[in-house]
Amino acid sequence: MSLPALVEPGPPLSPSRAARFARHLTLPGVGALGQRRLAASRVLAIGAGGLGAPVIQYLAAAGVGRITVIDDDRVERTNLQRQVLHTEGDVGRPKAESARDAVALRDSAVDVTALVERLGPDNALALFRDHDLVLDGSDNFATRYLVNDAAELTGTPVVWGSIHRFAGQVSVFHPGHGPMLRDLFPDIPDAGSIESCATGGVFGVLCGAVGSAMAAEALKLLCGIGEPLIGRLARYDALSARWDELRFTADPERPPVADLEEVAVACRALSQQGRDDDITAGEVAARLEHGGQGIAVVDVRTRAERSVHAIEGSVPVPLDRILAEGWPAVAEALGAGAADGRDIVVTCQAGIRSARAIDALAASAPAGTPLRNLAGGMDAYAALTQ
């Protein structure tokens, strides 16, 4: 199914811009008119990580005139294995700003706006209305469903991608022209139902394959060429080097999205506004620096995660063991005096799995045991101490 171009062409290209995009100008269906459409396009890239990195680079290289990058995360050393937009010199910087500066080095004529913030119910609708197309490279369910619902409410088309370990998926959700994410996956899954990249790993080059496919879909929609992945989920398995396709249709019984109330709940849970049992990375670091009296750190991450960075003296007790055994697993790991009044600080990578562990431990720990959640997890502790 071909569709009209999303964008009206801008003014004629200058000689220098025409020379830059010469290989596009000879392409049937793109040509000078298509290149002028790209120059007039406004694209919102959600995330500047594994998928955002190739998407942003290829859209900028193709001559998309205005790109807004929204990401509230910072570049970490573990990102460099796959997020090729960033360099060692960017570690610690906001990803959105690193992406903006990387594009400027490639083409200073592309207008990139860096938003160092999270996409949320408070800003999604305005951002979507201000752009012709959205590319969703987010890494959590709350944001993906927020993107779907905001797109449905504003009529903004979305190119969607996801990756996990060695496999990735790409599709296009175009309101009024085909099914949406909620037709394919009706309900928001539990936040912990799928492993994150930190826990499950990701094949670095997979990001390039899936991100490039997303960029290709974006350019097709902007120029009005080819057959977009509407009603089709393209699936790539890097280990077998195979693409396959799942076709799906709109669910006639699904009620249309009326507001952002449901996703607002999921987004609030994701933002981790704070728990009563939170302890800051600064307080933990300060107490450990002064001998660690009255504190014991339990790390619920995987062995692979701990091998990258762990708090000195912390005790590993994997989350799945805590969920299965409860307090006895922690007591065995800590040894005699486990419940002698020390603060039991539980940590994971970002503070989400540790909160889940504490909720599980609360039912079986001795009464009055002070269980504390390291707010922001190892991400926050590493940013403070490295």
Catalytically active residues, by annotation: 197, 348
- SS3 letters for 51-64? CHHHHHHHHHHHCC
Q: Please, what is the angle between helix 52-62 and helix 204-223, to 10°?
A: 40
CA 302 distance to own-chain centroid = 21
Dump strand ranges (E) for 187-325: 232-237, 242-247, 278-279, 295-299, 315-316
How far apart (Å, rounded) are the C-alpha atoms in residues 283 and 54?
A: 38
| CA–CA dist 109, 102 (Å, integer) | 13
Q: Which long-range contacts (CB under 8 A, 24 or more apart) does 325-332 make?
A: 326/360, 326/361, 326/363, 326/364, 326/365, 327/361, 327/364, 327/365, 327/366, 327/369, 328/364, 330/298, 330/361, 330/365
Residue the block writes with tokens 């077998």: 240
Q: Report d(CA 362, CA 283) in Å as an integer.
A: 22
Please, which residues bridge with residue 162 across strands?
169
DSSP 25-36: HTSTTTHHHHHH
